[in-house]
Structure 1
C-alpha cells in the first residue's frame, strides 16, 4: 500500500497492517509522526485529527487502508514556515498543556482557509468558531484563547507577519507538534505492557497460573502486582501485567492467564456501607489505605466502614453545635440542609503513561507523565532499593493531570518491574476505560450544613458535616477547609470517610474546595436573602479582609451586578440570573525548592527538577530570571522534568509559582553579581546588557561561547528563602509548608435557564482573584479560564457513573462523560488584585485552585436568582432541574 504523508510517499506492506489498525496506528507507530495524539479511541476528543485530501478527519476511527493512494497531512506537514493560525495561537496563548493543540490547529486551519476564501479580513463571530471547533476537547480549558486566536487569524492579522514569540516559552514546540509527551517515547526494542484487572469488587486471589501466557509468542515478561495479602478491594484493581513485542500479543497473553478467585461479600453503595452489618473494607484497620487528598492522614476513629469525625479545624465546636441546635428550636434566622456533589474524573487527555528501562541492574531510567518528578524518583529509589543518583525520572511534557498524576502510580510500577524482568524498555499506557477506572476522581460528598444568624444578618454559628464517598481511600478533607473563611464565629467542622469496595479517589484541583463552597456559599446567599441584605455587603461584614474588599469593589462596579435587581420576578420560558460566590485557598509552598543557572555556549540555562503540566512553569522561571538580569525572557533557556536537576516542587496545591519564583530570583541575583565581577575584571566596566548572543558593553560583545570557554563551570544555585512572615507549621510535611494568609476569589456568573427543557447555560463569568503578584498576566488569565471551565463542567455536566449493584464503573469513554467543550465556553472577564502578599518572597502565590473553588456555587446562586429554586445536588442535569421546578411550581 502506498500512502503520501506530508508530501512523502511511503510503501507499507499490506501484510503488516492488521484489520483493526487505524490511520492513527500507522502514522504514530510505523511512521513515528507523533503530532496526532491518541486520547480516546472513540472519535470524541479530536486530538487525533489529521487531514485526508486537505480535509480534517478523525485518525483513530479511519481504517488504515483508507489512506491508500490518498494525500495525508499531520501537524508536522504544516510549514516549514508557521501558518497564520499557528502564529495566532502563539500570540494569544491559545493552549496550556498542548496535548490537544495539534488537532485543534489542523481543524482551525481548515476553517481559516474556508473563511479567507469568502470573507477577507472579516472577523468570524464567536458562535461560528465554536461551531467549527466543537469536535475538539481541551481539558485545560484553553478555549477562550482559541476563539480569540482564530478570530484574529481569520481577520488577516498574522498574514506575512514575523512569527511572534508569544508569552509561553514552550508554545512553539506545541503548535508545531514537536513536543514529545510520555506516550510519544519510543526506544529501539521497546515492548508494550498491559495490565490485567480484577473483575470482582472484593476477593482473595487463591492461585495464578501464568505458564501459558509466559510462553506465548512475543511475550517477554509477566509480573504480579498484588500486595502480599493478595486481596482485591475493587473492580479494576491491578492483578498482574504482561510485556510483549506488540500490544496485540500482550492482550492475547492476558486471555491465557488462569486466576482462581475466592469471591467475598462486598459493599459498593455508601448507604449500605454505613450499616453495622455491611462487609468491612478494612477489617484489621486502614493500614495502607490510599490518601484521597493532599493533606497528611490525621488520626481518626473507625466505626465499621466509617472513619471520623475529623474535627481538627473546628473553633468552639461545642458552642457551635449548641447555637445551631437552639436556633432550630427557637425559630431564629437560619439555613440548614443537605447538599450533594458527584464523583468527577480528572480525565486528562494524555492518559497515565510510563516508559521504563534499566541500563543495568543498578540503574533505572523512567519517562513518566507526572506532576511530581523529584518525588517519584525518591519513591522509586525506596521501592527498588536504589540510591537517588541511580534513578533518573524524565518528564518532558505532561498532557494534563489536575491532581491525578501525583506519586508512584500503577502504570509506573508495572512498566519498571516489567522492564527489570525483560531487560528491555517497556511502555505502559492506560486506555481510556482504564483512565476512568483507575486514573482518579474527585470523591462524591454529602454535606449537612446548619448556619444561624441574628436579625441583622451577623452569623452566630456554623456547623458543617461532610461524608466523603472515597472508595477504598481515606483522608476526605472538606469541612475542615472552612476554618479560614468567615472567621471569628463558633464552627463545628467535621469530615467523615465512608469506605466502600470502589476505586480510591484522588486529589483533584483544590481537593475538597468546590464541594465545600457549593454548600457554604449557597447557604450564605440564602441567609442574605432571608435577612434582606445585599450579598456583597453581608460578606463584607463577615470577612473584612483587604484583598476581599478590593474584589468586592470590583464586583460592585460591574454593570451586570448593579442591574441584578431588574431580573427579579421574571416570567416566560427563558430566565436569567446572576449569582456571586466567594472562595479561598491555602497558600502552599515547597521551601526546599532550588533553581540552577548556568552559562553555556548557547546562553543562560535555568533548570530545576520540577515539571510543566501546562501551568507555565518554564515561562515563569524565564520571566523572573530575565527581570533580574534585565534581558528578554526568550534569552533564558529553561530545562525541566529531570530528577537529576536541583530540587524542584511538585505541581500540586498551587505551590509551584510560590516556590520557583523566589528561587529563580535568588539565582539570578547571584548570577548578576558574578557577571558584574567578571565584567569589571575582564572588561573594566559595570555597565552591560545581556542579549541572545552574549553580554554587550561599551567594549563590544562578549559572546556566550567566549564566556563559557573562559569560565566552564560558571553556575549558581538559588534557594527558596523564607518569607518575612513565619509559616504556619513548625516543619514541612513531605516537603510542603503552609504559608501565612490565603488567596481569595469572587466569582460572578450569569446563567440562562430554559424552564421548559431544564437546561442551564452559563452566559458570562466575571472572576476576581487576589493571589499576589502576577508574573505572566497572559498565562495567569489562561489558568483562570481553565479553572472556570472545569468549574462549569463540575456544576452542569460531569458525573462518573457506577453500577450500584456490582461497583463496575459505567463511564468508560468521552462519549459517556460530558466534558465542557468550546461551545459551552462563556465570555470571561478576569480581574487580578496583586496586593496582600508583599511578605512573600517574590510576591507571587498560586492560581490553579483559587480560580475554580467558587464557580459551581456561583452558578447555583445564579440559578436560584433566576428561578427561585435553590439547587442542592450536582450536576445540575435537566431532569433534576425540571423535577425541582415542577415540584416548586415555578413554571
Structure 2
C-alpha cells in the first residue's frame, strides 16, 4: 500500500496541543486543522431531520401503513417454567378477522436441553409461544386471549441469591450460549463452566487477564477498602418499543424495523429463512430510541415474517409497554465485592473484584472492564459470574457492565480517599494517568465550584447538601465494516448513502457536516440517505462506535469525489487539479484569483450523470490496539453531582450535574450536549428511580408499565452543564468518536458519592430511595 507522511494536530488545545507525524494511505485526504479553523465541523448545526420530527412528518416503524396490512400480537407464556402439553387455537382461529396463527415449535439442537414435546420449554413469564395476525390489533388481542395453553409447571427461581443456592431449581441443565445481538454486553464466557445456575467466571477481557500477585499487593498495602455493592435490574424503556413491519413479497422480504443495526437484522432474517442477503431489505428511516437492545431481529421479527408468509400480506408487530419490560432486554443486576489496597501515599497496590449478576435466561451479567483499566494498578484480578434465573433475558444497555462496575469502583475510590484523608478529586489526580481526564477534572471542578465541598454529613438543617464526583472510561471501538457512498450529481446535488442508521443521536447531521466541510458547501446542500440495507454496509449503532467508524470513510469518499470533479475543472482551465479548491460553493484556483466557477456549474462538466465514490473504514493511523478495531486511547468523562437530601422524608433531589467529556474531535457541539444530557438523565434515573420488581412467588414483573416503573419527570431533572474537551489523537481523517456510553457510566456513582457527602452515611446499593435513606439514618427499621 502506498503511503505518505503528514503532520497532525495532537493533544488538547489550551493545554498541550502539538503536532505528530503519521504515515497514512496515499489516497486519503489532507489533514484537517483543529476545529477553530474549520467552517462547519465542531459548530452547532441544527439536526437536518429536526423539522420532520417536531412536525410529525417523520415516520417511525410503528407509523407504517401498507396496503392490506395486518396487525399482529404475540402469544406469551404466563408461567415462568413449564413444559407445554398442548396449545388449543381452535377458538382463536374461528374468530372473525383472524387471518393466520403461527406457533413456535420445538427445534431442539444438539447439546440443548432435552425436550420431547412439540413446543419449546418455557423458561420465563413473557417467553414468546406464537402469534396471531388479524385485521386489527384489537382482534389480534382478542384472539390471543382465546388461545388455551396447557402447561406442566415446573419449579422456578427468580431471586439472584436464591438461584445461587445449590438446591435451587435449575433453569438450564446444559451449557447455554450468548445470544448474538451486535451489542457489547459486558464480560461473557462460554456458558459451560460453573455449577447449578452459576456460570463462569469470566476472568479476562480484551485488555488482558489477571496481572501481578494479589496476595503480595495486599501485603504491601497500608490501607484496604473492602466492600460489597449492589445494583438493580434496569429494563429498557424507549419511547418507541421494539417491533417490525414485514412485507414478504415473492421476490423480496421487506422489513421496516425499529433497530440499531439494519445489517444485523438483515443477516439474521436471511439466515433464519434460508434467503440470500440480497433478498432481504431492512429499512430504518427514523427510530424512537434504542439503548442497546435493538441490535437483533428478536423473536418478533421472525414471527412477523412467518405470519406475512402465511397470509401473503404485510404484518405490523410492535411490542406493547408490558412486553417491552418483560421480554425485550434489561441491564442485569449485580452483587459486586471489591477489595482495594493502597500505600499511605495513595499508590494503589491491588484490586480484587468478584461479581454475580443475573441476565435472566441469558448471559452477560458482568460488571465490565472499568476496575481493570480506569486506574493503573500492578496487581489485579476479577471473577465475574452469571447466575441464571427464570426471568427475561438481559441485553446490551448503554455501557453494559461498566455502569454497574463504576457504581462500585468509584465509591470505593472515594472511601479510599477518605481513609487517606485526601480530597477525592485530588486523589484521582494522583492515581489517574489520563491526561484528558485531568483536564476534565480541572475545568469541571472550576465550573462546578468543587472548592465549596464540605466534610461528609457536616451540613446543618433538615435538608443537607452534598457534592460528589465519579469518573468513567470506555473503549474507542471501531467497526471496519463501515462503508459510505458519496455521489455528486450533474445538477449540483450531493448525496450520501449508507445503511448506517440514525437512532436519534444525529448521525444524519454529522455525515452531512463532514461532506459539506470537505466539499466547501453548506449542510443543507447535502442529501443524506441512510438506514437502508440496499446502501453500502454501515455499522450498528452501539458501543459509541458509529462516529469513529463511519465519519472517516464519509470524508474519504467525499474527498475522492471532489478530486474527480476538480480534475474536470482543471482540464477546462488547462491547469493542475492540485492547484484547485472548493470554498463557499465556488471552485477556485490557488494561483489565479480570477479563475472561479460555481460548484453547480462545475458539475455540468461531467460526461456522465454523476460521480460516485465508495470508501470503507481503513485502519487507524498508527494501527489498532487490537486488530479487530480497538483503537488506542479511551473515551473518558468526569461527572460532578450536587444533591439535596431531606433527612426527615428521605427524599433525594439532584440539583446540578456538571458533565465533562471528551470524544476526540467534536463534530457537532449541540448534538454532543444533547447526548450527554440524555446519558446524565438516564444515570440519575438508574441511581434513584428505576427498579424491576419481581414477584418471586409467581415469576411476574409487578411494575411492567410506565406508572409504577419509575423514571424521572421534568421537575426531577437537574440543571446540567456540559463541558466538552477537544482532544486530537491523529487516528483517522476525522479523528472523531462517539459519546453515547461515557455520558451514562459515571452518573450514578457521582450521585451516590454526593449523597454520602450530604448525610455522612454511605449507601452501597441502588436505587437510592427515601426508604433506604431513612434506614441509613436509623429513622426507620
Q: Same fold (TM over 0.5)?
A: yes
Instruction: Render the CA deviation track for 1:797-838: whole Å, top value 9, x for unaligned.
Output: 111111121210111211111222221221222112222522
Gaps of 5+ in 1: 1-163
Native 8 Å contact 2:82 2:122 kept in 1:
yes
Q: Which moved more, 1:510-519 or 1:262-271?
A: 262-271
**Residues 774 and 226 of structure 1: is their aligned pair in 2 closer, same or farther, counting only changes over 3 Å?**
farther
Are positions 1:370 and 2:249 aligned together?
Answer: no
Of residues 761, 764, 777, the one that matches 1:869 is: 761
Structure-to-structure mapping, 1:635-674, within 5 angstroms = 635-674=525-564
Distance 1:466 1:566 in 2: 31
Residue 134 of structure 1 is matched in structure 2 by none
Q: CA deviation at 1:252?
A: 2.0
Structure-to-structure mapping, 1:479-628, within 5 angstroms = 479-558=368-447, 560-565=449-454, 569-600=458-489, 601=491, 603-628=493-518
Are positions 1:346 and 2:236 aligned together?
Answer: yes
Native 8 Å contact 1:582 1:744 kept in 2:
yes
Residue 312 of structure 1 is matched in structure 2 by 204
Native 8 Å contact 2:211 2:378 kept in 1:
no
Structure-to-structure mapping, 1:273-352, within 5 angstroms = 273-287=163-177, 293-294=184-185, 297-299=188-190, 301-313=193-205, 316=210, 319-321=213-215, 323-324=217-218, 332-352=222-242
Q: CA deviation at 1:507?
A: 0.8
Native 8 Å contact 2:87 2:148 kept in 1:
yes
Structure-to-structure mapping, 1:405-420, within 5 angstroms = 405-420=294-309
Residue 433 of structure 1 is matched in structure 2 by 322
What's the secondary structure of 1:419's corresponding residue?
A: helix
Q: CA deviation at 1:614?
A: 0.8
Native 8 Å contact 2:498 2:536 kept in 1:
yes
Q: CA deviation at 1:694?
A: 11
Distance 1:226 1:809 in 2: 26
Are positions 1:757 and 2:646 aligned together?
Answer: no
**Residues 526 and 567 of structure 1: is their aligned pair in 2 closer, same or farther, counting only changes over 3 Å?**
closer
Native 8 Å contact 2:177 2:190 kept in 1:
no
Native 8 Å contact 1:603 1:692 kept in 2:
no
What's the secondary structure of 2:443's corresponding residue?
A: helix
Distance 2:729 2:602 in 1: 40
Are positions 1:173 and 2:52 aligned together?
Answer: yes
**Residues 674 and 271 of structure 1: is their aligned pair in 2 closer, same or farther, counting only changes over 3 Å?**
same
Instruction: Render the CA deviation track for 1:192-236: whole Å, top value 9, x for unaligned.
Output: 000010011111122223233233221111112344251110011
Are positions 1:855 and 2:734 aligned together?
Answer: no
Residue 742 of structure 1 is matched in structure 2 by 634
Distance 1:836 1:447 in 2: 36
**Residues 448 and 489 of structure 1: is their aligned pair in 2 closer, same or farther, counting only changes over 3 Å?**
same
Residue 774 of structure 2 is matched in structure 1 by 882
Structure-to-structure mapping, 1:628-777, within 5 angstroms = 628-682=518-572, 687=580, 689=582, 701=598, 703=600, 707=604, 710-730=607-627, 732=628, 737-777=629-669
Are positions 1:447 and 2:336 aligned together?
Answer: yes
Residue 716 of structure 2 is matched in structure 1 by 824
Residue 22 of structure 2 is matched in structure 1 by none
Residue 112 of structure 2 is matched in structure 1 by none
Of residues 150, 158, 181, the one that matches 1:260 is: 150
Native 8 Å contact 1:317 1:493 kept in 2:
no
Native 8 Å contact 1:311 1:480 kept in 2:
no
Native 8 Å contact 1:603 1:693 kept in 2:
no
Residue 136 of structure 2 is matched in structure 1 by 246
Are positions 1:184 and 2:76 aligned together?
Answer: no
**Residues 298 and 537 of structure 1: is their aligned pair in 2 closer, same or farther, counting only changes over 3 Å?**
same
Gaps of 5+ in 2: 1-42, 109-119
Q: CA deviation at 1:369?
A: 0.2
Native 8 Å contact 1:787 1:852 kept in 2:
yes
Native 8 Å contact 2:172 2:197 kept in 1:
yes
Instruction: Render the CA deviation track for 1:861-881: whole Å, top value 9, x for unaligned.
Output: 111111111111101110111
Distance 1:722 1:865 in 2: 46
Residue 78 of structure 2 is matched in structure 1 by 199
Q: CA deviation at 1:581?
A: 1.0
Distance 1:334 1:727 in 2: 36
Native 8 Å contact 1:198 1:238 kept in 2:
yes
Distance 1:543 1:702 in 2: 50
Point out the structure with the larger helix share: 1
Distance 2:585 2:712 in 1: 41
**Larger relative contact order (CA 8 Å, sep ≥ 6):** 2
Native 8 Å contact 1:290 1:474 kept in 2:
no
Q: CA deviation at 1:175?
A: 1.5
What's the secondary structure of 1:642's corresponding residue?
A: coil
Distance 1:252 1:479 in 2: 44
| TM-score (normalizing by structure 1) | 0.77
Distance 1:680 1:258 in 2: 76
Q: CA deviation at 1:700?
A: 5.2
Residue 473 of structure 1 is matched in structure 2 by 362
**Residues 597 and 318 of structure 1: is their aligned pair in 2 closer, same or farther, counting only changes over 3 Å?**
closer
Runs of 4+ in structure 1 off by over 6 angstroms are 690-697
RMSD between aligned residues: 2.5
**Residues 568 and 257 of structure 1: is their aligned pair in 2 closer, same or farther, counting only changes over 3 Å?**
closer
**Residues 794 and 209 of structure 1: is their aligned pair in 2 closer, same or farther, counting only changes over 3 Å?**
same
Native 8 Å contact 2:186 2:400 kept in 1:
no
Distance 1:322 1:807 in 2: 45
Are positions 1:394 and 2:273 aligned together?
Answer: no
Distance 2:170 2:668 in 1: 50
Structure-to-structure mapping, 1:94-113, within 5 angstroms = none
Native 8 Å contact 2:97 2:135 kept in 1:
yes
Are positions 1:218 and 2:97 aligned together?
Answer: yes
| TM-score (normalizing by structure 2) | 0.87
Instruction: Render the CA deviation track for 1:530-568: whole Å, top value 9, x for unaligned.
Output: 111122222122122211221122134346212223886
Q: CA deviation at 1:428?
A: 0.3
Native 8 Å contact 1:517 1:857 kept in 2:
yes
Distance 2:167 2:212 in 1: 31
Native 8 Å contact 1:348 1:400 kept in 2:
yes
Distance 2:533 2:588 in 1: 31
What's the secondary structure of 1:406's corresponding residue?
A: coil
**Residues 312 and 700 of structure 1: is their aligned pair in 2 closer, same or farther, counting only changes over 3 Å?**
closer
Q: CA deviation at 1:482?
A: 2.3
Native 8 Å contact 1:290 1:472 kept in 2:
no
Structure-to-structure mapping, 1:786-805, within 5 angstroms = 786-805=678-697
Instruction: Render the CA deviation track for 1:717-754: whole Å, top value 9, x for unaligned.
Output: 12211112322334x3xxxx221221111111111111
**Residues 568 and 302 of structure 1: is their aligned pair in 2 closer, same or farther, counting only changes over 3 Å?**
closer
Name the count of aligned residue pairs.
716
**Residues 422 and 551 of structure 1: is their aligned pair in 2 closer, same or farther, counting only changes over 3 Å?**
same
Q: CA deviation at 1:755?
A: 0.8
